[in-house]
Amino acid sequence: MPGWLTGKPTISPMTPDLSINLGGLAMKNPVMVASGTFGYGQEYDRYFDISKLGAVCTKSLSLNVRAGNKPPRLVETPAGLLNAIGLQNVGIDAYLREKAPYLRKKGVTIVANIYGHAPDEYVELARRLEAEGAADAIEANLSCPNVHNAKLATGPSMVSQVPEQVAEYTTSIRSATKLPLFIKLTPNVVNICEPALAAQEGGANGVALINTLLGMAIDTETRRPKLANIVGGLSGPAIRPVAVKMVWDAARVLKIPIIGMGGICIAADAIEFLLAGASSVAVGSMSFRQPDASLRVVEGVEAYLRQHGIPTVSDLVGAIRV
């Protein structure tokens, strides 16, 4: 009999606990947005209250302003997006001056994603962010496919393809900051556990999995690559099964938590990542199609917990039945 006839609520009155502690970072819920798909937060604040998210992750910040690659830099693919933005960003000075104060005023939990050409650049970025109180955690992007020589395919083009380098970079950044440190890894490797374990050994508080998969697309009329950079990074629903598998692989060997991402569009997608072993999730490309997708994911995860009578979101982490 429906609840409006019996007087009994049809939805469980239990309010599930969505809060998590992600390697030392307190978050009101496990949902954040993925670097490079949400600007610096302010751009999305006119669509919804961004302080309702577990955290906002900034576009990768570098020491100097970067214009990025030449256009075309974005191509749609059957179930995703191929991008070669090339880390266009305002640079750390403008971030500290113009972007961070807005996020702080809004009470947003900030994960500052950083990018550099060598460990000392990451060190400087992390130090400045901590000193200025402009981040609650650091996510070091060791996995951008669009700035090195990925198109030459002559060998590893990203730091996170070489576990020894992951350890070296992580150790350096670790020594520069007390903020929770997450290392963002590339899926363009044979075994994701190797760089993930290297990050853990270097002192990371968590790993972010996954960055984009290398890809390219060709215009058959002009015979020219669709991206000016020739190659780019594939994101969106097409990569989700790859990402879930990598999270599952890494979760079985790591002691530190995982931020899972890759093709999350709706709450069920996020729940897949949690079941596979991610402690937190990030919504990426989907924000381009539906700006408030990340907030819908927060609401959907809460509804799922209620529906299944699960008291805390942490109960879902790694709860896959195999």
Ligand X SMILES: Cc1cc2nc3c(=O)[nH]c(=O)nc-3n(C[C@H](O)[C@H](O)[C@H](O)COP(=O)(O)O)c2cc1C
Catalytic residue annotation: 144
Q: Is 226 among the residues that bind ligand X (CB under 6 A)?
A: no
Q: Which of residues 136-195 bind ligand X (CB under 6 A)?
A: 141, 144, 184
Q: Please provide the DSSP assignment of 219-263 as one string.
A: -TTT--BSSTTSEEEEESGGGHHHHHHHHHHHHTT-SS-EEEESS
Q: Is 81 among the residues that bind ligand X (CB under 6 A)?
A: yes
How far is residue 27's CA from residue 21's CA, in Å, rounded to a whole number?
6
Q: Is 63 among the residues that bind ligand X (CB under 6 A)?
A: no
H or E stretch covering 57: strand 55-57
CB of residue 288 vs ligand X: minimum separation in angstroms?
8
β-pairing, 231-235 vs 213-216, is antiparallel
H or E stretch covering 33: strand 31-33
Please identify, among the stretches 11-19, 171-179, 232-240, 310-318, the one whose residues bind ligand X according to the rule CB under 6 A.
232-240
Position among 16, 23, 30, 36 found at the interface with ligand X (CB under 6 A): 36
Contact characters 95-134, ligand X, x per CB under 6 A: ------------------x---------------------
Residue nearest to ligand X (CB): 36
How far is residue 122's CA from residue 181's CA, in Å, rounded to a whole number?
12
Q: Is 206 among the residues that bind ligand X (CB under 6 A)?
A: no
Q: Is 280 among the residues that bind ligand X (CB under 6 A)?
A: no
CB of residue 116 vs ligand X: minimum separation in angstroms?
12
96 vs 244, beta carbon nearer ligand X:
244
Position among 284, 295, 298, 301 found at the interface with ligand X (CB under 6 A): 284
96 vs 111, beta carbon nearer ligand X:
111
Describe the crossing of helices 267-276 and 240-251 by its angle, rounded to 10 degrees: 30
Position among 18, 25, 27, 34 found at the interface with ligand X (CB under 6 A): 34
Position among 160, 161, 235, 279 found at the interface with ligand X (CB under 6 A): 235
113 vs 229, beta carbon nearer ligand X:
113
Describe the crossing of helices 119-131 and 163-176 by its angle, rounded to 10 degrees: 30
159 vs 239, beta carbon nearer ligand X:
239
CB of residue 136 vs ligand X: minimum separation in angstroms?
17
Residue 269: which of 303, 292, 300, 246 has the closest Cα? Answer: 300
Q: Is the distance from CB of 201 to CB of 167 less than 8 angstroms?
A: yes
How far is residue 230's CA from residue 238's CA, in Å, rounded to a whole number?
20
Task: Please state whether 186 falls in left (phi above 0), alpha (psi between -120 and 50) or beta.
Answer: beta
How far is residue 84's CA from residue 115's CA, in Å, rounded to a whole number?
15
Residue 143: which of 245, 217, 54, 246 has the closest Cα? Answer: 246
Position among 62, 212, 229, 294 found at the interface with ligand X (CB under 6 A): 212
Q: Is 205 among the residues that bind ligand X (CB under 6 A)?
A: no
CB of residue 9 vs ligand X: minimum separation in angstroms?
35
Contact footprint for ligand X (CB under 6 A): 34-37, 59-60, 81, 83, 85, 87, 113, 141, 144, 184, 211-212, 235-236, 239, 261-264, 284-286
